[in-house]
Chain A
Amino acid sequence: MPALKRALLLIVLCFYTAFAAGPFVWAAMMSLRTTTEIHRNHFAPPIPAHWDKFAEAWFNSNYSLYFANSTQIVVSAVVMLTIIGSMAAHCLARYRFRLNRIIYFVLFSTIIFPPQITIISLFQILVQYGLYNSKIGLTLVYVAIQLPLTIYILESFFARIPSDLFDAARIDGYSDWEIFWRVSLPIALPAVSTTVILNFILLWNEFLYAVVLITEEANRTLPLGIQRFIGDTQEDVGMIATGLMIAIIPVVVVYAFFSERLIQGMTAGAVK
């Protein structure tokens, strides 16, 4: 009976893996084939493999620039989100003050609004402050849209840190600022890692705000770069796939680096 159960489980897992990984493998295969080859047979293996397409995309199709822009914008936004978000979450979880829960609710309630609602006003604000079509402008928008979710995730974690630890640190002579950096933040590292990885993946793949707020070639991010290969009448499917693979690599690296902590953060408190 256990063997049968195990076999059934393996079959289900195989189906799920094929379902989840199939599109990725297909895109990976297409990234090594030319558009002509793809049109001839959509699912054929990449023989011969055109590795030179990566070099072509990187050097001739401006992917190096898009990659650098994405890295600059997303890393800056994630750093700001992590610092501001964890400070705000620590404050909301730790201190009793008037309007604490109201501020928390207002922050969290912004999550329910679809991004299309805010995009026109954000556009106006950025134009007014001279931040339209700039990397700084997009970075600030990314911080603004992801901050509520970041605070929500971190606040619930910070709230579970026993207050005795803060009291012990106060008696040990540490100020509130030092307690945040030396006690709260290190303890909350699993949750912080969760927000880092979530924010990185969401912002790295973000398209809507980027396409509205960035028009100059010099400031384009990777998702906008990939879009350039989609024309009105025809698409360079091979180059799109190559661009996708270039875009995916950092996400895979970040996930591999933080995945253990991500799981810790998501399951924290589940087991005593």
Chain B
Amino acid sequence: MAVVSLDRLTKVYDRTLAPAADAVSLEVRHGEFMVLLGPSGCGKTTTLRMIAGLESISAGKLSIDGRIVNEVPAKDRDIAMVFQSYALYPHMSVKDNLAFGLRRRSVSRPEIERRVTAVAGTLGLSGLLDRKPHALSGGQRQRVALGRAIVRDPKVFLFDEPLSNLDAALRVSTRGEIAKLHRRLGATMIYVTHDQVEAMTLGNRICIMNGGRVVQVGAPLAVYRRPANTFVAGFLGNPPMNLLPATGTGANGGLAVKLGETILELPAARCPPIPEGSAVILGIRPENVSDRPDNGGLATTLEAEIVQVEPLGAETIVAARVAGLERDLMARIGADAEWSVGNRCTLALDLSAVHVFDASSGAALALHA
């Protein structure tokens, strides 16, 4: 276990372009499972590669257990990494792949044998030790890649989108194996993904990145419930949060806003008073938009026309057009609702769950417990 500290870590590839990672500051605690989450090109893999020692650091400090490792080569950082492509040596057997790193570290032969056998047993690879990687399925290759990291018993595990190449079913089961592995080893792990489901299910905390910068760090549900800005609000959740432009009316102590042609009275606990004429963005998750106007706790209703219906079995996702709104409103409703495209409907917004963001900066106007 180890503490990994990133202090304004920056990576510049080309001085004429924006930094790939821009002053990234983050502390990963002992035994924590930290997920770096963000869209493609947000700098999460670059950050991970700097931690691994595979990319030089342009500015900032990186320390592992208090020791600054900016100039320490990858091999001396006591880390192991699982790659998206698995990166198994194709000319070596599974056994040699597992033992390759140990041989370089002058571990005795009996000890290598013991560790390889133990890891192979744990990951269900015992019968595959003499096979070459090309003779393995995707899931088996992924397990070998995991085994190669585990067998070294490193201070820190790094994962670079390790499940991206697996099919949906295998991804779910391997995700479970990684979670189990973390519980069993209790090791510090840093995991890069663009898949929010992986981030939400695996991470003790998630660090959301965008444009090379850290946008928000926190426990998965805390980040989901209290997004720091419109980017996080729109990135987390499927379908994402509805982000609806509105204008303050100045009425009701600054809590009334005009959304399309409707005036909404926001709860005082959700935002500070909004000056008259100020542009804001109201964020409301699809699960807080209901097809039952009489449902308790829902403050207001909107008349809408259904433009898309996606029945998913357990629930139905509906896109509805509301007069005066530029974007369609997404709602997650019960599976029993029999709506079809073109129907008129009444949707109720649970204003106790609304988020209010500044229209120009996108930052949340207030974060509430």
A189 nearest in chain B by CB position: B91
A-contact 0/1 string along B44-74, CB 8 Å cutoff: 0000010011100000000000000000011
Q: Is there contact, CB below 8 Å, between A173 and B104? A: yes
Given the complex, which residues of A lie within 8 Å of B89, measured CB to CB? 165, 168-169, 183, 187
In the complex, A164→B74 CA distance in Å?
A: 14
B-contact 0/1 string along A147-188, CB 8 Å cutoff: 000000000000000101101111111100010000100110
Q: Is there contact, CB below 8 Å, between B85 and A167? A: no
Q: Is there contact, CB below 8 Å, between A164 and B79? A: no
- Is B349 engaged at the interface, CB distance under 8 Å to the other chain? no
Chain A min CB distance to B216 (Å): 29
In the complex, A186→B91 CA distance in Å?
A: 7
Given the complex, which residues of B lie within 8 Å of A171, measured CB to CB? 52-54, 74-75, 79-81, 101
Given the complex, which residues of B lie within 8 Å of A174, measured CB to CB? 75, 104
Tell me if A's interface is mostly helix, strand, loop or mixed: helix
State which of A172, A178, A187 has its C-beta within 8 Å of the C-beta of B101. Answer: A172
Given the complex, which residues of B lie within 8 Å of A170, measured CB to CB? 53-54, 73-75
A183 nearest in chain B by CB position: B89
B75 nearest in chain A by CB position: A173
- Is B222 engaged at the interface, CB distance under 8 Å to the other chain? no
B-contact 0/1 string along A185-197, CB 8 Å cutoff: 0110100000000
**Interface set, chain B 351-366, CB cutoff 8 A to A:** none
State which of B73, B87, B105 has its C-beta within 8 Å of the C-beta of A167. Answer: B87
**Interface set, chain B 324-348, CB cutoff 8 A to A:** none
**Interface set, chain A 121-154, CB cutoff 8 A to B:** none
List 13 additional A-B contacts (Cβ < 8 Å) besides A167-B49, A168-B148.
Answer: A162-B87, A164-B84, A167-B74, A167-B83, A168-B83, A169-B89, A170-B74, A171-B52, A171-B54, A171-B75, A172-B75, A173-B105, A183-B89
> Can you list 24 A-B pairs with a CB-CB distance of less than 8 A?
A162-B85, A165-B89, A167-B49, A167-B54, A167-B74, A167-B81, A167-B83, A168-B148, A170-B74, A170-B75, A171-B52, A171-B53, A171-B74, A171-B79, A171-B80, A171-B81, A172-B75, A172-B100, A172-B152, A173-B104, A174-B75, A174-B104, A187-B90, A189-B91
